[in-house]
Amino acid sequence: MKIGIFGGSFSPVHNGHLQIAEDCLIEMGLDKIIFLPNAKPPHKNVEKFSFENRVEMLKLAIEDNEKFEISLVEEDFSKTHYSYNTMKENFCNGKDKFYFIMGDDEFLNISSWYEYEKFLEITSVIVFLRKYNLNFILDKNKDLIEKYDINIVKNSVISISSTDIRNRMNEKKSIKYLIPKKVCKYIYEDLNYFDINKIKKDLKEKLSKNRYEHSLRVADYCKRLAVIYKVDENRAYLSGLVHDCAKNLEEFYMLNKKLNSDIIFDTEEKDNENLKHAPIGAVVCKDLYGIFDEEIISAVRYHTTAKENMTLLEKILFISDKIEPGRKYDTVDELRRLADFDIDRAIVKFLNDSFEYLEKKSQKVHHLSVKARDYLINKE
């Protein structure tokens, strides 16, 4: 068999890695490619993600390709793993032909590798171009290319680096189209990759004291209900924390051209200042806090009106906002008791009570609230 060995930190694995692997597979006629995550690579700092996290992301990224596999022979974090030792001890068996896949920048510096000449004697190499042109590589490493089995493959995609992705994450920029969808979901949901303290600090500086304390209480109540209804506690807490991130800051954020272009109001929201903070907040969550969990975004977007067919997380945020310990009105204790064992009934009761109140005040009921109430009633 012809087998490609694709080593790296994969911190995180991205679409560029997958395209490189696919190009090598096709152009070199390989039977399969083995991804080789390194627990402690000799030339890189991978503190951002644990080895276990990196492996899990790799599994998610390649699970739909039967020609892609993972090897964990470099999982020992107590030692530095050198490619020569790894290939000699684990792969070069005399039966299969192995191709070690590396970038052009790595190939240009291969003379700094441990036992690099012995390494090149026991394995073929595939060099994928991403930073330099072919003539430059041929000129710089001409002697090695003539002496050893070196194959050069042109990479068909724009270069993406894991370093750039980590930097974008630190800057709260989107990485949505740089990494596989399942990996993105894993990072932002399973790893809960948010700096809660930074978000709290920003909210404390921007919101009024009462609004900030309300947000903390809602976050805590969301977490409490998440335990009862077996929903992810971290995601529930985060949704509660940021739900009012745009409250009383509507004009401030509307003046931000980047945010403004993404904000969409329905007809009733355009005419009601009390409702605008929810759709604005959903955009702020993405663009300012780097939250790309669509369920959290939706929960924030509809926490004032509710909507039909809400998820459990959306229901938890909606009702927590209305019954957190700081709320004082006649039926709040009853709603709290209801929410503990039947969240749908609690939401229906709250909506019915609010409809009655709005009608007495000759105020309009939002159509989404009506749809939410009717959906839950008909569901029973």
Over the stretch 32-87, which tens digit does the pLDDT of each residue have? 999 999 887 665 555 578 889 999 999 999 999 999 999 999 988 778 888 999 99
Q: What is the pLDDT of residue 377?
A: 94
Peptide bond into 12 cis (omega under 30): yes
pLDDT of res. 358: 87
pLDDT at 151: 93
pTM for this entry: 0.61
Is the model more confident about 186 or about 268? 186
Query: Nearest 10 degrees: CA dihedral of 99, 105, 108, 111?
Result: -80
Residues in CB range of 257: below 8 A, 6 or more apart: none
Residue 151 vs residue 170, higher pLDDT? 151
Tell me: pLDDT of 135 over 80.
Answer: yes
**Right CATH number for 195-379 from 3.10.180.10, 2.60.120.10, 1.10.3210.10, 1.20.810.10?**
1.10.3210.10
Give 345's pLDDT tier (boundaries 50, 70, 90). Answer: very high
Q: Among the listed ranges 35-49, 210-224, 360-374, which one has the minimum average pLDDT value?
A: 35-49
Structure confidence by residue, pLDDT tens digits, 285-304: 887 887 878 899 999 999 99
Q: CA 147 from chain center: how many Å? A: 44
Name the strand (E) or helix (H) holding 16: helix 15-27
- Show me where the domains of the chain are located: 2-186, 195-379
**Encoded tokens for 97:** 């032909």
| Domain 2-186: which CATH number of 3.40.50.620, 3.40.640.10, 1.10.274.10, 1.10.8.60 | 3.40.50.620
d(CA 115, CA 82) in angstroms, rounded, equals 9
Q: Is the pLDDT of residue 310 over 90?
A: yes
**Cβ(306)–Cβ(347) under 8 Å?**
yes
pLDDT exceeds cutoff 60 at 89: yes
Alpha carbons 103 and 151: distance in angstroms, whole number: 12
> Looking at residues 162-189, what average pLDDT do you find?
81
Length of the chain: 380
Between 225 and 155, the higher pLDDT residue: 225
Burial letters 255-267, b for 16+ CB under 10 A, else e: ebeebeeebeeee
Average pLDDT over residues 361-371: 91
